[in-house]
Amino acid sequence: MIKILSESTINRIAAGEVIERPASVIKELVENSIDAGATTINIILEQAGKNLIIISDDGIGMSPEDLELAVQRHTTSKLDEENLENISSFGFRGEALPSISSISKITITSRLRESSKAYSLSQIGGKNSKLEQASHDLGTKTEIRDLFFATPARLKFLRTDKTELAACVDVIKKLALSHPHVSFSASHDNKTFLKVKGDSREKNLAVQKRILDIVGNDFMSNNAELNLTRDTINIYGFASLPNYHKSSLEDQHLFVNNRPVKDKILNMAVRSAYADYLESGRYPVIVLFLDIDPLDVDVNVHPAKSEVRFSDPNLIRSLIVSAIKDAISSNYVNSNVETSPLGYFGNKAKYSYLSSNLPNSSFNRTFTGPKDNSSSLNEQSYNNPKAFTLPLLDFPSNKQDNTALEITVDNCVYENFALGSAKAQLKDYIFSQTLNGFIVLNWRVASEKLCYEKIKQSLNDNKLTKERLAMPEVVELTEEEIITICHAKQYLSKLGLSIKKFGNKALIISEIPTLVAKINIFQLVKNLSNYLSNKELGEDLEVFEEYVIKTYAEQYSKHIDKLSISEMNQMLRNIEQSSFFKAKDHVGLIYAELKITDIEKFFKSN
């Protein structure tokens, strides 16, 4: 038997689509307030909105006739039926209020701007409509109590208060971000958690101020401004620099024509723009506004209107990726320019935030190291800019000498040191003068040994520092090589090398031990894959570890080319402090001493 459904049943079914959780009610009601021209919106929540949601605004208000119509289905003041495709207001189906009222206890109190009288209308589960005169100052106040009381099955689907509240906060943040000219305040269980003042300046300035208020100062100091216009498409906003990231998607706010959206294409575009920069599990912070001709986007796909459909998704994807990438690369400068083949001398702040994109000069600053980082090897050294000031291969007992070295380098006084005072470099050899002769030292072999010893030591002490590469290295390999390397991913990460698969034919290396940050990474990875393809990993991890450290050391010594006198002296002092030198372990392979007596003997015998 075919039955005609009652109005309240139809509304409850519709509510199932539009109203999923307290956050959806907030979204619908606040959008109504904005459509009503409100400049101040106040939100009160109790028990994550499950108990009570009150939204009040200072908008145009409603007459008693409007109030009665508003809670009926398909009544709206907003839709121009001649022009269904061009929708500029938020609501347009006239579904929200009847849906909400069918599943809750609602009271709407409102005063039309030009009227002296206010009225309130209440309903319980969409029934027992009661309209009466009320005292109300300005605009509209909508109170929703006991949401879902009429649909116990849905009530059961609600998550914990914590999760529901987080969803409410997210919705409120997004609404506030997209309406910077409106003042918002919001409280939960009597505690205010958000209060922002409307800004009447031009849009971009107001948006910047609002982002600062909502997302925070740290983000504003570590971001790049997005600004790209192509035909009728405009992308505007701010995206975090690669050094600033979070462990959740919490602060990714994407808007299409000022509507908060959850859209796969946009999310993927953001993800791929950062693929080179961020490890999996780390998420950028972004506030992005995409403005597009309403004819090229369908916001009507889902009643809750957070999904959209683009007429040309590929174009949108590629524009977003390039807007983000361009912004990042022009704002993010790897200041670790190699000025000395030995690197790491002096103050080496890894990231430098050069040009501030904000008019306010208080945002200009130099960034001295990543803030929020998940390095497992040595958090401390990451967060402490001083970690970058340690000289290369600094052996603990050698600190005093290093300082002296930099000052006295020109009139060298190292003749009484075991390895003397450096005078010249000839290919792989350093010539240094001692008190009674000359030393010829193979610095390539020595630096390899030094590097090996230093890395070994830091691994033993659990103090290996690694460095996040500002421009991660993409290494192209065969599919087989990639599989082989990925098998060893975990072990390599313990050895300071963070590797991520990048498609089937490439790897991204995003982190490497600080000491060897300048080596030829391609060669390193290639060597490792050769080694691994001939060996079964897992048989002997120690042997593998040994091989990796040796390869680091080998590549390290290879990357050095020309040495300055002061660098040569630095290296000689480091060798003197090393345990292989102290233990006289193979030092004969590293240097030979030519005493003045030997020289004299040589000339005399001729």
Spell 397-419 as b/e; 16+ CB within 10 A means b. Answer: ebeebbeebeeebeebebeebbb
Q: How far is the CB of 97 from ligand ADP (least distance, A)?
A: 3
CB neighbour list of residue 586: distance below 8 Å, 6 or more residues apart: 580
Applying CB under 6 A, does 36 fall inside the site for ligand ADP?
yes
Instruction: Pick out residues in 32-51 that bind Mg ion (CB under 5 A).
Output: 32
What SS3 class is residue 287? strand
Of the candidate residues 44, 70, 319, 512, the single one contacting ligand ADP (CB under 6 A): 70
d(CA 61, CA 224): 40
- Candidates 104, 214, 216; CA nearest to 169 is 214
Applying CB under 6 A, does 33 fall inside the site for ligand ADP?
yes
d(CA 217, CA 213): 8
Q: How far is the CB of 37 from Mg ion (least distance, A)?
A: 14
d(CA 478, CA 472): 19
Give the nearer residue to ligand ADP in terms of CB position, either 57 or 251.
57
Count the site residues for ligand ADP by CB under 6 A.
22
CB neighbour list of residue 223: distance below 8 Å, 6 or more residues apart: 238, 239, 240, 241, 244, 285, 331, 357
Applying CB under 6 A, does 72 fall inside the site for ligand ADP?
no
Q: How far is the CB of 80 from ligand ADP (least distance, A)?
A: 12
DSSP for residue 4: P
Give the nearer residue to ligand ADP in terms of CB position, either 28 or 251.
28
Instruction: Pick out residues in 285-314 that bind Mg ion (CB under 5 A).
Output: none
Give the nearer residue to ligand ADP in terms of CB position, either 29 or 167.
29
Q: How far is the CB of 134 from ligand ADP (least distance, A)?
A: 15
Of the candidate residues 76, 204, 227, 318, the single one contacting ligand ADP (CB under 6 A): 76
Count the site residues for Mg ion by CB under 5 A.
3
Instruction: Pick out residues in 48-67 that bind ligand ADP (CB under 6 A).
Output: 57, 59-62
Q: What is the DSSP string of 439-476?
A: EEEEHHHHHHHHHHHHHHHHHHTT---EEEEEEEEEEE
Applying CB under 6 A, does 43 fall inside the site for ligand ADP?
no
Give the nearer residue to Mg ion in terms of CB position, either 142 or 578.
142
Adjacent-strand bridge partners of 252: 286
Give the type of residue at 20.
E
Q: Residue 57's binding partner, choosing from Mg ion, ligand ADP, none, with beta-carbon cut-off 5 to 8 A by kind? A: ligand ADP
Give the nearer residue to ligand ADP in terms of CB position, either 31 or 279.
31
Applying CB under 6 A, does 143 fall inside the site for ligand ADP?
no
Stretch of 42-50, 72-80, 284-292, 522-530 contacting ligand ADP, by CB under 6 A: 72-80
Length of the chain: 606
Applying CB under 6 A, does 300 fall inside the site for ligand ADP?
no
Nearest to ligand ADP by Cβ — which residue?
91
Is the Cα dihedral 286, 287, 293, 298 positive or negative?
Answer: positive
d(CA 180, CA 203): 8
Applying CB under 5 A, does 198 fall inside the site for Mg ion?
no
Region of 243 (left: φ > 0; alpha: ψ -120 to 50; beta: rest) is alpha
Q: How many CB atoms lie within 10 A of CB 337?
A: 9
Beta pairing class for 252-256 and 286-291: parallel
Applying CB under 6 A, does 447 fall inside the site for ligand ADP?
no
Q: Residue 60's binding partner, choosing from ligand ADP, Mg ion, none, with beta-carbon cut-off 5 to 8 A by kind? A: ligand ADP
Beta pairing class for 259-260 and 286-291: unpaired
Of the candidate residues 18, 19, 28, 572, the single one contacting ligand ADP (CB under 6 A): 28
Q: What is the DSSP string of 81-150?
A: GGGTT---SS--SS-HHHHHHHTSEEEEEEE-TT-S-EEEEEEETTEEEEEEEE---SSEEEEEESTTTT
Give the nearer residue to ligand ADP in terms of CB position, either 78 or 487.
78
Residue 87: phi and psi, rounded to 5, are: -105, 120
Do 442 and 591 touch, CB atoms closer than 8 A? yes
Instruction: Pick out residues in 73-112 that bind Mg ion (CB under 5 A).
Output: 91, 96
Give the nearer residue to Mg ion in terms of CB position, either 32 or 101.
32
Applying CB under 6 A, does 77 fall inside the site for ligand ADP?
yes
Q: How far is the CB of 96 from Mg ion (least distance, A)?
A: 4
Instruction: Pick out residues in 87-126 that bind ligand ADP (CB under 6 A).
Output: 91-97
Q: How far is the CB of 34 from Mg ion (least distance, A)?
A: 10
Nearest to Mg ion by Cβ — which residue?
91
Q: How far is the CB of 159 from Mg ion (least distance, A)?
A: 24
Q: Show the tokens assigned to 144.
A: 């929703």
Q: Residue 515's binding partner, choosing from ligand ADP, Mg ion, none, with beta-carbon cut-off 5 to 8 A by kind? A: none
d(CA 81, CA 394): 76
Q: How far is the CB of 35 from Mg ion (least distance, A)?
A: 7
Applying CB under 5 A, does 59 fall inside the site for Mg ion?
no
Give residues in contact with Mg ion (CB under 5 A).
32, 91, 96
Give residues in contact with ligand ADP (CB under 6 A).
28, 32-33, 36, 57, 59-62, 70, 75-78, 91-97, 140
